[in-house]
Structure 1
Amino acid sequence: MRNNMFRRLPVEQATGRLYGGRHRLRVVYRTRDLIVLGLGVMIGSGIFKISGEQAATTAGPSVIISFLIAGGVCLLAALSYAELSSIVPVAGSAYSFSYVAFGEIWAWVVGWALVLELLLAASVVARAWSLYATQALADFAVPVPSWLAGIIGQEKGFDLFAFGILVLLITMLATGSRLSLRSLWFMVMAKLIVIGLVVATGLKFFHAGNLTPFVPPERPAPDGATTVLDAVLGAVTGSKPGVFGIWGIFAAAPAIAFAYIGFDLIATASEETDDAPRKVPRGMLTSLAIAVVLYVAVAVAMVGMVSTDRLDPAKPLLATAFGLVGADSMGKIIDVGAVLALTTVILVVLISLTRVVFSMSRDGLLPRPIAGMSRYRVPSRATLVAGGAAVVMSQTINVLTLEQMVVIGTLFAFLFVSAAVLALRRDRPDLHRPFRVPAAPVTAAATILATGWLMLNLKVQTWGYFAVWMAVGIVIYLAYGRRKSQMKLLLDAPPPERPAAARTQAPPPGVAPFDGSFAGPGQGGGFPVPPPGSYGAGPRPNVPAPESPYPTGRYSVGRRPSGPYDREPYDREPPADPYALDPGVPNPFASGPHPGGRYSAEQFGSNPYEGGRYGTGPHTRDPYVQDPYVEKPYVQEPSVQEPYEDGEREEPPYPGGRHRR
């Protein structure tokens, strides 16, 4: 079982056509498309609320530092993703990286964590989209029928808006519509305009006094928010968790990291990107840098506009802040921006989810039919299966309480990607790396430590749910994936049978049989005698095959008389001329009944050019050989093509290359 479960996927096989790798999907993305893809998923509704939430409940004005810390950790992880994406540009992202670096069982674990992250993200964001869409209708005073009011904007149970947005986007992706990419461009540009308006308007009301105290004094944390780190420290030191203060700056970073999650999803588009080893790292790092700048700008505008003591976490914080300074109209613009932002998040998450499911199915760890390609050259089956699961989850589970499950699944993948950089640097230093992590050992180790610290700041309940999910995944792998793995089937397949040797035709009369060796008569073989007419005109007598100068064959053990396998002495020295025949054996190529073959010795006397074309005689009459002492005019001899007596052989009509036309 170990041989199958821990078998690594070779890089060359992961990216080659033999295994169904690159370019099976349609190439549609360029560098700017990848940047838009990253901004589409990283800039969601969180940019309008997360800064206010963390400022009001955890860090105060120092939440600006928390945004920079979370951005720095994600940038370290993005460097590792960039290097591995340049080596293994396939659709599976962290799943494929782990398959190459660690083996199949770890690839399944990471892939299962990615499925959790993306499936929950699509469901959670669809529910949030419904809440914001309902709020926007209310702010714009759009009348809603009574029968519709009870099935939209719901936090749990059936929700028509959440159901409708998921079905619409799944249909667009399953049919390979170009409208999805164009719509993504339009919506990202629109929400960037909204963010620009928010920042510009907020800075108008900026007051430095709202930033003091920049680090509020520490307070006890509310009940129900105990993290793993708090539990460990409480058990060791007896301290209780707190918020604000220096500790609050670091405590807010894990929640903010949730906002930056999404740059890793760009790696899932590698198979659909032209020159992916160079463009994917470039698009990933650029989009993350832009996102960090935008989040910090909104946070500065937020905390500088209103004191955090005046904010109510139960209300939409950014819209409330604009209302407190007299800019009520900004609330409607924020509603529009939030709806557009959440739409792009759902779209990109669904794209990434279907690519991960497609890649795992292609490898056989999930049912292979799911990886089937439709006539639109998109993985429509994977889109329908993954999208259907997201629809069911969004309508049956209270997913809004499971937001941190998205974070832990992503951070878990970050750990493996950072470790994979070190593993491949050690095991495969020969791989071409268009992008290299600077100071890789230090950077990767720092990423692992920082990611582990962020994971410890998640709730204990989140860790419990994650453990249950992973246990279910291990059972599924042992019951199905381990037996159906494509790698296992390829490695366990018997070698192909060698084709049977073709039968040789009987030699012409008078020719000794040829068994493939060059031994002399009486030793199992002999030189084949050419058929009549091959080397000259006239009949040829039946002659015995000449004896080889090497009595036991060219490759036999007697070839070397001093070798350790010499079973008999080398009974005679080979003649000086290896082509000379033994005395008494008629020479089939000599003069006599064989007058003047093209390459025979008789040509020296009968050839009008004295010495023949390839003879050793004087070249005074040979028009093809320039005598260094005699000047002769060049005379072109007409070409004569002799027929093949064993069967005519025609020259190819287009000589000189495989692709000549």
Structure 2
Amino acid sequence: NQYHHQGFPIDCQRIEIMTNRAGAVLRSFGSRLTRTKHIPKGDLTTNLRRCLNTFDITMIGVGHMIGAGIFVTTGEVMRNLAGPSTTLSYIISGLAALLSALCYAEFGARYPKAGSAYTYAYVGCGEIWAFIIGWNIILEHVLSAAAVGRTFAGYLDDLFNLAVRDWTVEHARPWPWNTVSLPNTSANVSMEICVDAEDASMLSDRSLIGYYPDFISVAVIVFSALFVGLGSKAASNFNSVFSLANLVVIVGVVGYGITFANFENWNNFMPCGINGVLAGASKCFFAYVGFDGLATAGEEAKNPTTTIPRATYYSMAIVTTCYVLMSGTLSLMLPYYQLPTTSVYSAVFIKLGAPHWISLVIAIGALLGILTSLVGSLFCMPRAVFAMAEDGLLFGWWARVNPWTKTPLNATITFTILTALIAMSFDLDALVDFLSIGTILAYSIVAAALIILRYRPHPEEFNPAVMDQGGKIRHNIPFLSERLALMKPGNSILYTLLVMIVAFAGIGLLISTHFFKTPFGIALMIMLSIISIGCVLFLEAHQQNSMDLDYKVFLVPYLPSVSLLINILMITQLTLMTWIRLFVWMAIGFSIYLIYGLRHSKEEINWRQKRRDLAEKNLSGAKDGDNYWRVTDISMVDTPPRQYKDAWSEANSINTKIGGDRLSDGETMSEVRF
């Protein structure tokens, strides 16, 4: 057991024990990070009130997606990127968004819980991935609500010829540390407002801190939060009324605008070619961000297994139709190269001789769209916090549900205050990409989680004697079955998915760096494409689980794989600064998780209780002097029962000695001789 090295004795057995113990600790820590949450099929229990029907949830999706951007983004894309083919850009981006929305819809039918992508990642990918997504979703909703609040203030200020801004600067004064001069347009306008070239350059040089405190945005955020805090039905009714009013304005703009149509404006339908269409689609994709709010409402839907999928289809159809009609009408009214840079619809109508009151109607429509978008963000935000707090990953105070309103009122109040402070103090133009990366990461993990769950043996059906359970190779492919017979069902799916994601990321990097234009880049692109296709076909060769659901995504794994590819391609187009900001935000999140969430997680508490109960059960049968012990994974039991302390020490040493051979949950315990 010992030998001497340079005169010092080395205890080999002790080193082996320490190595095994360190390995056991690392394996245990890794298993805690990747543990998944099990939600029984058909579990509709909740502390929230189930009061929303299909119409309510559809309007939540429509209101969250159709904001002021429909009056702004369309003109910007048409003027600078795609021309009249902006209609195609909206159709392409709508189809791409629909792929992600379908994945959300199946998860909403499977697990009708608050939390949206966070809950889905917890069930499909593991706790650490769930925390990453949940932490980013919270930031997404907070910054989105703050940005929309500033946008509302900017539109309202424009209606009064910047009187609000001038009064605030005169009486409240600018922030003392901000020395940047105001541009000639409203300083409150967020990333959705287009400005002229001179003002745009000035805005790009500004810091993250706004020029002056924006009290109007604070007021509108608090006002909207009151409806959200009063209950889901009150918030839904508020959202539905303003969403319908916004749709009426859109129909009016399209109906009146088509009377000015000139089809000669479509003679050069794709002035920038297919590249312009795709570039426009990339920008238009973010006009559809917000459909995840449908899934967030799953825990308050009356019949979520059918309501969520239907509301997803209805809202996506309504929103896509609105975007296509609005863009098509605008492109027929005026040549794309003559479009103004600000207030594009109002300016075009006035230029064509329409009465001036039309600009007021469009401004009202934009304000209504902003309010519905703001309510959508404020509705989703506390429910994401509630889901994480209820699972123990965030502070439990935020998981308390008000007994009267049946809403997470504590989370609503806390994060409304945070949102209002950010809206009052910060200029959010520089954070557009930051919002984008969190959203796309959530979409990507949901698509991956759907593939994993489809091919993972369901806990209720797992039986080694059953041959057609999920995760195994199909019977008609025997040569693969023989090679993968020793692999646990579902593991080959996970490894294949990882390879496919790496291949997709490689393709995205080749495109973003333009390296694919070189001979070596072309060869690498072909190789990665073949690997990607092979991974999808390998996934298809596996048996899906037989879990019966009211709604399932069709063409799995093809549709989720295409969704994953599109999302990863967009992620690779983001700037380095965006990734740096993400890493800073995630560093804060990981600190909270490691200090608080890891130990207070409900899965952690249940895990420790199972180990404690199992250890007590096994150690109660141990006798002094026995050469045989029933050994289980008790190394993580902090405090053994007093009467079994000696036996616990012995069994713990056996666990250390046998290392990775220790038993896991659900396996038959065997006797170990020592």
TM-score range, shorter chain: 0.5 to 0.7
Equivalent in the alignment of 2:260: 205
Equivalent in the alignment of 1:615: none
Distance in 1 (alpha carbons) for counterparts of 2:568 and 2:63: 27
Equivalent in the alignment of 1:470: 586
1:173 Cα deviation after fit: 2.2
1:185 Cα deviation after fit: 1.8
Distance in 2 (alpha carbons) for counterparts of 1:69 and 1:311: 23
1:323 Cα deviation after fit: 1.8
Q: Partner of 1:353: helix, strand, or coil?
A: helix
Choose the corresponding residue for 1:137, options 144, 160, 163.
160
- Written as runs of structure 1 = structure 2, the 5 A alignment for 1:119-134 is 119-134=142-157
1:170 Cα deviation after fit: 1.9
Letter in 1 for 2:240: W
Q: 1:301 to 1:105 in 2, by over 3 A?
A: same
Equivalent in the alignment of 1:90: 113
Q: Which has the higher helix share?
A: 2
Distance in 2 (alpha carbons) for counterparts of 1:10 and 1:487: 9
- Written as runs of structure 1 = structure 2, the 5 A alignment for 1:108-187 is 108-138=131-161, 147-148=167-168, 154-155=188-189, 156=210, 157-176=212-231, 178-187=233-242
Distance in 2 (alpha carbons) for counterparts of 1:62 and 1:71: 14
| Gapped regions of structure 1 (runs ≥ 5) | 217-243, 499-661
Give the aligned length. 462
Matched, 1:424 2:456: no
Equivalent in the alignment of 1:304: 332
Q: Partner of 1:407: helix, strand, or coil?
A: helix
Choose the corresponding residue for 1:481, options 597, 600, 606.
597
Letter in 2 for 1:154: N
- Written as runs of structure 1 = structure 2, the 5 A alignment for 1:44-83 is 44-83=67-106
Judge conservation of contact 1:127–1:400 (CA < 8 Å) in 2. no
Residue by residue over 1:508-549, the C-alpha shift from the partner in whole angstroms, topping out at 9 and shown as x without a partner, is: xxxxxxxxxxxxxxxxxxxxxxxxxxxxxxxxxxxxxxxxxx
1:179 Cα deviation after fit: 3.7
Distance in 2 (alpha carbons) for counterparts of 1:144 and 1:11: 51
1:397 Cα deviation after fit: 2.1
Q: Partner of 1:274: helix, strand, or coil?
A: coil
Judge conservation of contact 1:136–1:336 (CA < 8 Å) in 2. no
1:178 Cα deviation after fit: 4.7
Residue by residue over 1:357-376, the C-alpha shift from the partner in whole angstroms, topping out at 9 and shown as x without a partner, is: 00000011100111111122
1:332 Cα deviation after fit: 0.8
Residue by residue over 1:162-192, the C-alpha shift from the partner in whole angstroms, topping out at 9 and shown as x without a partner, is: 0001111223322437543222221111111
Matched, 1:323 2:370: no
1:144 Cα deviation after fit: 6.0
Judge conservation of contact 1:35–1:286 (CA < 8 Å) in 2. yes
Letter in 2 for 1:495: D
- Written as runs of structure 1 = structure 2, the 5 A alignment for 1:370-385 is 370-376=398-404, 377-385=406-414
Q: Partner of 1:495: helix, strand, or coil?
A: helix
1:145 Cα deviation after fit: 9.8
Distance in 2 (alpha carbons) for counterparts of 1:129 and 1:144: 12
Q: Partner of 1:11: helix, strand, or coil?
A: coil
Distance in 2 (alpha carbons) for counterparts of 1:254 and 1:459: 15
Equivalent in the alignment of 1:196: 251
Matched, 1:352 2:380: yes
Distance in 2 (alpha carbons) for counterparts of 1:460 and 1:43: 30
Q: 1:84 to 1:123 in 2, by over 3 A?
A: same
Equivalent in the alignment of 2:128: 105
1:251 Cα deviation after fit: 1.3
- Written as runs of structure 1 = structure 2, the 5 A alignment for 1:231-246 is 244-246=272-274
Q: Partner of 1:334: helix, strand, or coil?
A: helix
Q: 1:95 to 1:316 in 2, by over 3 A?
A: same
Residue by residue over 1:22-53, the C-alpha shift from the partner in whole angstroms, topping out at 9 and shown as x without a partner, is: 33101121001111111111111011111100
Choose the corresponding residue for 1:33, options 33, 39, 56.
56
Choose the corresponding residue for 1:387, options 412, 416, 432.
416
Distance in 2 (alpha carbons) for counterparts of 1:22 and 1:323: 55
351-360 vs 170-179, greater mean Cα deviation: 170-179
Matched, 1:445 2:561: yes
Q: 1:83 to 1:309 in 2, by over 3 A?
A: same
Judge conservation of contact 1:58–1:251 (CA < 8 Å) in 2. yes
Q: Partner of 2:213: helix, strand, or coil?
A: coil
Choose the corresponding residue for 2:293, options 241, 265, 268.
265
1:292 Cα deviation after fit: 0.3
Distance in 2 (alpha carbons) for counterparts of 1:147 and 1:485: 49
Residue by residue over 1:608-657, the C-alpha shift from the partner in whole angstroms, topping out at 9 and shown as x without a partner, is: xxxxxxxxxxxxxxxxxxxxxxxxxxxxxxxxxxxxxxxxxxxxxxxxxx
472-481 vs 418-427, greater mean Cα deviation: 472-481
Letter in 1 for 2:65: M
1:459 Cα deviation after fit: 3.8
1:381 Cα deviation after fit: 0.5
1:446 Cα deviation after fit: 0.7
Residue by residue over 1:378-420, the C-alpha shift from the partner in whole angstroms, topping out at 9 and shown as x without a partner, is: 1100111221221122122211332232222111111011111
Q: What is the TM-score of this pair, normalised by structure 2?
A: 0.66
Q: Between Structure 1 and Structure 2, whose CA radius of gyration is higher?
A: 1
Equivalent in the alignment of 1:23: 46
Judge conservation of contact 1:22–1:89 (CA < 8 Å) in 2. no
- Written as runs of structure 1 = structure 2, the 5 A alignment for 1:388-427 is 388-427=417-456
1:448 Cα deviation after fit: 0.5
Equivalent in the alignment of 2:507: none
Residue by residue over 1:296-331, the C-alpha shift from the partner in whole angstroms, topping out at 9 and shown as x without a partner, is: 000001111111111232x22121111221123321
Matched, 1:287 2:315: yes
Residue by residue over 1:100-138, the C-alpha shift from the partner in whole angstroms, topping out at 9 and shown as x without a partner, is: 011100100111121121111101111101111112334
Q: 1:197 to 1:145 in 2, by over 3 A?
A: same
Q: 1:144 to 1:170 in 2, by over 3 A?
A: closer
- Written as runs of structure 1 = structure 2, the 5 A alignment for 1:628-639 is none
1:149 Cα deviation after fit: 6.9
Letter in 1 for 2:560: A
**Aligned-residue identity in percent:** 31
Distance in 2 (alpha carbons) for counterparts of 1:35 and 1:127: 26
Judge conservation of contact 2:106–2:553 (CA < 8 Å) in 1. yes
Q: Partner of 2:46: helix, strand, or coil?
A: coil
Q: What is the TM-score of this pair, normalised by structure 1?
A: 0.67
Q: 1:417 to 1:348 in 2, by over 3 A?
A: same
Judge conservation of contact 1:174–1:381 (CA < 8 Å) in 2. no
CA RMSD of aligned residues (A): 2.1
Distance in 1 (alpha carbons) for counterparts of 2:597 and 2:387: 13
Letter in 1 for 2:384: V
